[in-house]
Structure 1
Amino acid sequence: MSNLRISGEGDDISGLLAMLGGITDPRKARGKIYSLSFMLASALVATLAGATGLREIGSRVADFGQDLLARLGAPFDHFTGRYRAPSEKAIRALFEKMDVAAVDAAFGAWLFAHAVWEPGEDIVLAMDAKVLRGAWSEGNKQVTLLSAMVHANGLVAGQVRVPDGTNEITQVAALLENLPDISGPVVATLDAVHTQHETAFLLVEHGIDYALTVKGNQPTLYRKTFEQTLPLLQKPPQHEVEERGHGRIKKWQAWTTEAKGIGFPEVATAAVIRRDEFDLKGIRVSREYAHILTSVAGNRATAAYIHRLIRGHWGIENEIHYPRDTAWREDANQTRTGNSPHTLASFRNLAIGIIRRNGIRKIKETLEYIAGDRDRVLPLLATACH
């Protein structure tokens, strides 16, 4: 991996260790051998080395070299003359009891604070849920997590568990409370299941604009949006993009208009995006329409901007969900005890964020590179801290 350099004494990871150590420690004070920051840092490095579950985390930590253990803050055993590593049992017990809300809040705030932003750049958050298909709760329900990813850099800024017996719609408020402090314009993109009056009110009350796709689950709202945007399709597109790849030609055309007479909280703009797909001979094979309502208003609500918001929303699948499934085989993982499934997912989010902070796009290859020599992780962690 050409983006990574060989570790050295100058690799300062104290900021990361401080963040990890500041999370609520669920263990009793009596009998603790390892600091919380060391335990969590060890689990993070194991995750960055490709560990898919608690057994593999324990196995990789047991193989850490003495120098790496020392840099992570391991206790020194004067009887053996060596730094000590925690057992799988100790790591498992910690993950089961972790305060996942505190973990997600700390990880999200730390990643967000260390991200690089362009001056005046809007912060756009994609909010979407992921089911951990192999993990089941004590109530025999699949574990579902609702996350907020920053479009621009693929960092997870917040995540919450969807409680058994509810759905992701009910957890937007909890996710908003879990987000770090964000200054400047913020826009949230959500799919059609979240096109609800209550969700729009919540976002606006938090000072966040929304861009929501409207579908048949809201028939009256869909009809009004359709009627508002239908005349636009008789005019030249206000924005157009064409891409070629995988034996197909894809074309997106977008239009926007003022949202008049649509009864939805703080709605300012209605938009329609038409997506056509052609074969290489120019014969159309499919056509789809997306209807959008947004609180973004005025000169900001250009067709190009709304198109970028909607296309960027699906980045959470490619940037977060897909790597967690392919690099860490998340859907196949059957860890089920306590808060372990959620905690593991949070560490994968943090690992992805650290890799992206280093300007690296290839997640799986990076894990394989670190697995070959665990000390290679130190410059990765140091760069992410600064």
Structure 2
Amino acid sequence: MTIVVMALCAVMSGADTFPEIQAFAESKRDWLRRFLDFRRVPDHETFRRVFARLDPVAFQSSALDWIKQAIGGQLEGDIVAIDGKRLRGTSEHEVQGVHMVNVWSARHRLCLAAQPVAGKQNEISILPSLIDTLALLEVSGCIVTIDAMGTQRAVAEKLVALHAQYLLALKGNQGYLFEDVQEMFSDALRRQISETELHGASTWEDRRRSEKRTSWVLPAHPDLDDYHWPGLRSVVMVESTRTVRGKTATEQRFFLTSLPACSVTALYAVRTHWEIENSLHWVLDVAFAEDDSTTRTDHGPQNLATLRRWALNLMRREGSVGAVNKNRKRAGWDDEFRERLLQQLLPLPT
């Protein structure tokens, strides 16, 4: 526990490597002794060995316990995005690196859970167990969004059993289902909208680029029953038209959903899904230098990844404004600010 808390404080304060964690603990020895009992600061190899051997499932479970307390366990009405992120620094020569599958709460702006897999292709195997983990957070009534890798009947079945809604990306890897859904929208858009069950909604964005997004939704046709997709109620097509420097490009994306046919809700859920890239993955790379981490020993990569996500969650819950990398530096300089962050986990002495 002493080593884990030292490391968490160090990571919140700007440390990215085990030698930096040791240096932080040595410089803040007196402050740490206010609530930790230790004779000397461990060296960086001790930190490395502990995190290499620490059970990542148990460590992640501890983080999840805090999440449950922080948000009251409830996610009803939330949009929960699931997406993978490669830890690039863990790849070496022909050795495949670690891939973390992250779960993001849009409402709370927290990483709810993260599970490691060896390589992106293995996301398929880890998703059902990750959904089981979500059951601990009472996901009834939330919308779970996943990219095409997670479009599996087993995933949909688990979410339906948890009384959660799903919106799953549909691509060519689903074969005839993908082609049939494409044909449904092609046929509907060729006819008068008044003659179809088609629902549409659009948004426009004009900042660095001009972009129009249109969501078209159709109730699931009885012909799709042959695919035996659990809880399927409607299908979605989102068409994006972007104009950048005078060049226009159009892209169509398709989705399966257990939601009723509502184009506004579907478009909002599709857009919100990408917050996991901008508010979690990008922040981990830019503010925590996650891609630069070359820790590769045993469980070290995934446990450090959990530590970074835990530190980010504490900063988000504390609520100080400003960029995360600025607040990491502030945590390194300001004992009082660091104490406020840690107070969310430990009852510190006054």
Q: What TM-score, normalized to structure 1?
A: 0.79
Q: 1:172 to 1:346 in 2, by over 3 A?
A: same
Distance, in Å, in 2 between the alignment partners of 1:337 and 1:41 is 20
Moved more, 367-376 or 329-338: 367-376
Aligned residues: 335
Q: Is the 1:229–1:270 Cα contact (8 Å) retained in structure 2?
A: no
Q: Is the 1:114–1:385 Cα contact (8 Å) retained in structure 2?
A: no
Distance, in Å, in 1 between the alignment partners of 2:8 and 2:120 is 31
**Alignment match, 2:316:** 356
Distance, in Å, in 2 between the alignment partners of 1:329 and 1:365 is 13
Moved more, 309-318 or 223-232: 223-232
Q: Equivalences for 1:1-386 in 2 at 5 Å? A: 36=1, 38-66=2-30, 68-75=31-38, 84-115=40-71, 121-136=76-91, 140-163=95-118, 167-179=122-134, 180-182=136-138, 184-233=140-189, 235=193, 238-246=200-208, 248-260=209-221, 261-262=223-224, 263=227, 264-279=229-244, 285-297=248-260, 301-359=261-319, 360=321, 362-382=323-343
SS in 2 for 1:173: helix
1:203, distance to aligned residue in structure 2 (A): 2.7
**What is the root-mean-square deviation of aligned Cα atoms in Å?**
2.7
Q: Is the 1:137–1:143 Cα contact (8 Å) retained in structure 2?
A: no
Q: 1:139 to 1:164 in 2, by over 3 A?
A: farther
**Alignment match, 1:6:** none
Question: Deviations for 1:105-160, whole angstroms, at most 9, x for unmatched residues?
Answer: 2213312431379x994132211111111114999321112121112233111221
SS in 1 for 2:83: strand
Distance, in Å, in 1 between the alignment partners of 2:93 and 2:50 is 18
Identify the structure with the greater helix proportion.
2
Question: Deviations for 1:32-82, whole angstroms, at most 9, x for unmatched residues?
Answer: xxxx1x32221111001111122211221111141x21344233x5xxxxx
- Structure 1 consecutive aligned stretches of length 4 or more whose deviation exceeds 6 Å: none
Question: Deviations for 1:195-228, whole angstroms, at most 9, x for unmatched residues?
Answer: 2223322332343321011112223111111122
Distance, in Å, in 2 between the alignment partners of 1:375 and 1:44 is 16
Distance, in Å, in 2 between the alignment partners of 1:120 and 1:174 is 19
Unpaired stretches in structure 1, ≥5 consecutive residues: 1-35, 78-83
SS in 2 for 1:57: helix
Q: 1:167 to 1:361 in 2, by over 3 A?
A: farther
SS in 2 for 1:238: strand
Q: 1:165 to 1:137 in 2, by over 3 A?
A: farther
> In percent, how many aligned pairs have the same letter?
25
1:101, distance to aligned residue in structure 2 (A): 0.8
Q: Is the 1:232–1:255 Cα contact (8 Å) retained in structure 2?
A: no
Q: Is the 1:135–1:336 Cα contact (8 Å) retained in structure 2?
A: yes
Q: 1:291 to 1:345 in 2, by over 3 A?
A: same
1:358, distance to aligned residue in structure 2 (A): 2.3
Q: Is the 1:275–1:289 Cα contact (8 Å) retained in structure 2?
A: yes
Q: Is the 2:76–2:142 Cα contact (8 Å) retained in structure 1?
A: no
Q: Is the 2:199–2:217 Cα contact (8 Å) retained in structure 1?
A: no
1:294, distance to aligned residue in structure 2 (A): 0.3
Unpaired stretches in structure 2, ≥5 consecutive residues: none
2:249 corresponds to which letter in structure 1? S
2:325 corresponds to which letter in structure 1? K
Q: Is the 1:239–1:304 Cα contact (8 Å) retained in structure 2?
A: yes
1:86, distance to aligned residue in structure 2 (A): 3.0
